[in-house]
Chains A and B, each alone.
Chain A
Amino acid sequence: MAESGLITGYLAALSADLPAGIVDELADGLDQTRRQYLELGQDPDAAAQSAIADFGEPQVIVDAFTRASPARRTARKLLASGPVAGACWGTALIAGRAWRWPVPVQARVVLGLALMTVIALLAAAAFGRRYRSVSRSGAAACLAIVALDSAMVVAAVLVVPALIWPLIAAIFVSAIRATFAARTLRLLLAACAHSAL
């Protein structure tokens, strides 16, 4: 059954913001809704208009998918738990007198920049309004967290002369965050493979 120009335009509006897999699913539902109206005796244009009215405004649908995005939910959890991780590492670094550790200045600067980048990416994913940018920022933030927290853990184990309990707590928190971020990253990449972000 030929697709109405109205529906083609509606799907094009959704495609501007949503990945192909989601648009395919919506297109199937929209087509079935339109067929139902045709069976009820509406003409093709009226059936297309009724189906579109049932679905709602494209921006409302895009906003709902963005809110439901795993990237957004993960970014919000990581942002919310960020102060806890920061406090753990802050306590560990102060207790371990980190300023005496043999870490080059360049490495400290890179670490600081990486930390700020992660926070910016998480904020973009947590509060962004466009599905694709939320997904991309979330995936990049998850990747950066896995790298950053792993680097912190490895550096702490290699550089610190003695493991003290605040450092053990910080390593534990980082390991949890890195695992959570890695799991979400895997989900995001799988979704990307299925529907092209």
Chain B
Amino acid sequence: MRAEELKGHLDALLLAALEGGPRHGYAVMESLREATGGRLDLPTGTIYPALRRLEGAGLIRGSWSVVGGRRRREYRLTAAGQRALSGKRADWRDFAATVSSALEGGPWPSPA
């Protein structure tokens, strides 16, 4: 999956990756890779600006630590970020249901 296809959904993915606890940028990327079975093909460098943007919006909070002599920045969800993630999940379910029903020609999920 390419970065362009994720436009509009990257924020939700990053917030979801942080839902399990604090992570640094590389761990966020790894979490997304694992969660999607390696199908996400994002340039790793673009994750970091997105994290800073979410931090600026108050949805996540960053803090520094030193690991192996190198500075590391970890991010954690804020209460506002948790609420935003819940909203984005609900929006995604509506969107997926609507598009799926249009593409499949019937209600989604299709009856067994």
Contact = CB atoms under 8 A, between A and B. Distances in A.
SS class, residues of chain A in contact with chain B = helix
Interface string B57-86: 000000010010011110000000000000
Contacts of A27: 70
SS class, residues of chain B in contact with chain A = helix
Given A31-B70, A54-B43, A55-B43, A26 B56 contact: no
Contacts of B48: 22, 25-26, 29, 61, 65
Contacts, number: 69
B46 A29 contact: no
B24 A33 contact: no
B53 interface: yes
Contacts of A54: 43-45
B26 A67 contact: no
B71 A28 contact: yes
A61 B71 contact: no
B9 interface: no
A9 interface: no
B70 A68 contact: no
Contacts of A73: 56
B49 interface: yes
A14 to B, nearest CB: 9
A45 interface: no
Given A22-B52, A65-B52, A68-B56, A28 B70 contact: yes
A64 B70 contact: no
A185 B6 CA distance: 32
A138 interface: no
B95 to A, nearest CB: 24
Interface of A: 21-22, 24-29, 31-33, 54-56, 60-61, 64-65, 67-68, 70, 73, 187, 194
11 contacts: A22-B52, A25-B72, A28-B24, A28-B25, A29-B48, A33-B44, A54-B44, A60-B46, A65-B48, A68-B52, A194-B64
